[in-house]
Amino acid sequence: MLPTIAWQDDAVVMVDQRKLPTREVYVTCQTPQDVARAIKTMVVRGAPVIGVAAAMGLALGLQRSPAAGTKQLTTEFLRHCDLLAATRPTAVNLFWAIDRMKTVFSRRVLAGAGVDDLRRLMRDEAQAIHDEDVASCREIGRLGGALVPQDAGILTHCNAGSLATAGYGTALGVIRGAVEQGRTVRVFADETRPVLQGARLTAWELVRDGIDTTVIADNMAAVLMRDKRINFVVVGADRIAANGDVANKIGTYTVAVLARQHGVPFYVAAPRSTIDLATSDGSGIPIEERSRREVTHVGATQIAPDQAKVYNPAFDVTPHALVSGIITERGVCRAPYSTSLAALFDRVPEQAVAR
Ligand code: MRU
């Protein structure tokens, strides 16, 4: 399994995803500021691992703090929570991980933990978030793998693999699960403009695993579906609203529309930390807009004139009606999602009761 991120010698080490697939370079973060920069600039990217990185960044802040008392330590900790929360707005795993760290921190302070205890406990909590994510992905892979037909042509978009999680992956976890269960698969990886996570990262991961992988430009999927070379779609998610609307990498919505048109099942694979029951539908999900340079350039090469206007939303929202199922570590949710997603958290949504 790929080492996406790790706590090592009181630092956070991560593979620089901007440099893959041509160079495998590791970045060492010494401070929460370093981690925030790494998230913002996409050294580390992908919803679940952004959450892990933030948790480790908070633990790093405590580790490095000169504070002698819990009052000062708390002030610094909360400042670092704000810093990390301001990095990228769409992936809810980031806010989920920060909230979890905050909750554990305040509980421990109330219970009378000292500065050294807090440092150790919060490092353990960050590691637990990491380890639980790997376990969730494994389970998503096991459950989702069973949905993949024998002799499958699978389309995936962006990178929802080991690199986007603490390990194994969500959408790529489903593909890995299918292979482990003995299915024959051929994977089509959308290149995923503008940042090319599919061509650079998904293809790199799958090729390393010896899985049959074909990179396609984003505008080729319709023809492959028409020709019956794709019969299954699986993607990851950055945030899933309570009604099952799914925010994921820009272009996912296009893929979902094509899948519906061609009668191809469209699955979303995500851990429960990606589900945001507090957001009722996709219209409430903040969509990050990134720099114009990502669109006007491919790597160092300029492909659009300076004078052109650019629109660069990093994510889109796929309406729940286009989603065949949401594969989580607790089971596969089906429509109506307002009920099935709430059940994952043992909650009954008001709408479900009203119906
Ligand atoms: O902008 P990115 O590369 O962070 O976007 C990542 C995605 O959209 C992934 O599909 C999503 O985070 C799921 S990762 C398991």
Which CATH number applies to 144-354?
3.40.50.10470
Q: How far is the CA of 163 from the centre of ligand 1 (A)?
A: 10
Ligand 1 nearest atom to the CA of residue 158, by list position: 10
Answer yes or no: are the C-beta atoms of 56 and 171 closer than 8 Å.
no
157 CB under 6 A from ligand 1? no
Q: Tens place of pLDDT for every residue, the chain, 355 residues?
A: 557 999 999 999 999 999 999 999 999 999 999 999 999 999 999 999 999 999 999 999 999 999 999 999 999 999 999 999 999 999 999 999 999 999 999 999 999 999 999 999 999 999 999 999 999 999 999 999 999 999 999 999 999 999 999 999 999 999 999 999 999 999 999 999 999 999 999 999 999 999 999 999 999 999 999 999 999 999 999 999 999 999 999 999 999 999 999 999 999 999 999 999 999 999 999 999 999 999 999 999 999 999 999 999 999 999 999 999 999 999 999 999 999 999 999 875 544 433 2
Each domain of the chain, given as residue ranges in start order, spans 5-138, 144-354
- Report residue 198: phi and psi, to 5°: -70, -50
317 CB under 6 A from ligand 1? no
Tokens of 230: 């794709």
Burial class (CB in 10 A: 0-12, 13-18, 19+), 58: buried
- Report residue 14: phi and psi, to 5°: -140, 150
3-state secondary structure of 217: coil
3-state secondary structure of 40: helix
Q: What is the pLDDT of residue 348?
A: 54
Residue with the nearest Cα to atom 6 of ligand 1? Answer: 46
Q: What is the pLDDT of residue 354?
A: 33
Spatial strand order in the sheet of 239-241: 275-276, 239-241, 246-249, 315-318
238 CB under 6 A from ligand 1? yes
pTM: 0.96
Single-letter amino acid code for the residue at 172: L
**Tokens 């990491």 appear where?**
130
Long-range contacts of 106-110 (CB under 8 A, 24+ apart): 109/70, 109/74
Q: What is the pLDDT of residue 2?
A: 54
175 C-beta neighbours (distance < 10 Å), count: 31
269 CB under 6 A from ligand 1? no
170 CB under 6 A from ligand 1? yes
How far, in Å, CA of 255 to CA of 121, rounded?
43
Tokens of 149: 């037909």
Tokens of 23: 């160079």
Q: How far is the CA of 235 from the centre of ligand 1 (A)?
A: 9
Answer yes or no: are the C-beta atoms of 178 and 17 closer than 8 Å.
no
Tokens of 56: 């480790």
238 noted as active-site residue: yes
Tokens of 181: 């269960």
3-state secondary structure of 113: coil
How far, in Å, CA of 15 to CA of 17, rounded?
6
Tokens of 283: 């219209």
Q: Which of 9, 34, 227, 238 is catalytic?
A: 238
| CB within 8 Å of 320: residues ≥ 6 apart | 243, 244, 245, 246, 282, 335, 337
Question: Ligand 1 test: best mutation among 49, 197, 254, 294, most atoms within 8 Å of CB?
Answer: 197
For residue 30, the surrounding DSSP H or E stretch is none
Q: How far is the CA of 248 from the centre of ligand 1 (A)?
A: 6
3.30.70.2660, 1.10.3470.10, 1.20.120.420, 3.30.2130.30: CATH of 5-138? 1.20.120.420
Answer yes or no: are the C-beta atoms of 274 and 239 closer than 8 Å.
yes
